[in-house]
Amino acid sequence: MPDYSNRHVIVTGGTGALGRAVVGALLEAGASCHVPYIVDAEAKAFPYRDHAGVTLVPGCDLADEAAVGRLFAGVPKLWASIHLAGGFAFGAIGDTATAELRRQIDMNFVTCFLCCRAAVQALARSAEGGRIVNVAARPALEGRLGANMTAYAASKAAVATLTVALAEEVVKNGILVNAVAPSILDTPMNRKDMPKADHAAWPKVEEGARTILFLASPENTVTRGAIVPVYGRT
């Protein structure tokens, strides 16, 4: 397991299914985790809410640049920023309102962009480099899979392109930027939505977390601009 001792990491979406797995693995590796949230119920159910290595940041709208600025300003010395926050919408394009399109762009792309920007600024202040990990999606890489979820797929494709472009921009500062692209993660919600699917073939959140942990770690010294598939056997 990578060593995160004495390193501060921001994890957006940390109270979600994948986020809980990532935060748990980071804590086991010695990290101090800063987890923003909006939904009180998720924070109350968060299994690490009382852990000494966790700082929960309430009421943080990641699509608001002032809120993102306050989040990153509250971290003493950032090492890595992991951006898991986002949302999903299913629907044919003819049934997708402009408001839903903008909501997908805000939830998936704008939040990622603002957090990447704030992370680059914070890491530049430390002058020691660092890591950024984003979350794209399989339909962002394989566009045909985005049929009937075009707003979601397009917003995640923007995250993938942002990742590759930013990786080239900031490597000179010792900042390595990568992303993972899950297919369908094995979560209780996804099982409920797709009860007849082959759940055993889905990648587990713990497996996704291990991939993210390596990309965000000091042990990753060469990988940048990668969109790493997390597909399991799907």
Q: Helices (DSSP H) in the chain: which residue ranges?
A: 17-28, 40-45, 65-73, 98-104, 111-126, 138-141, 150-170, 188-193, 205-215
Determine whether 48 is an active site residue.
no
The closest of 137, 131, 166 to 18, measured between CA atoms, is: 137
Question: Measured between alpha carbons, how far is residue 203 from residues 12, 149, 230 in Å?
Answer: 20, 21, 7
Residue 173's contacts (CB-CB under 8 Å, 6 or more residues apart) are 120, 123, 124, 129
Pick the catalytic residue: 4, 37, 48, 152? 152
Q: Which residue has the tokens 């699917």?
A: 197
* Amino acid found at 62: L
- What SS3 state is found at 24? helix
Alpha carbons 189 and 122: distance in angstroms, whole number: 35
Active site residues: 152
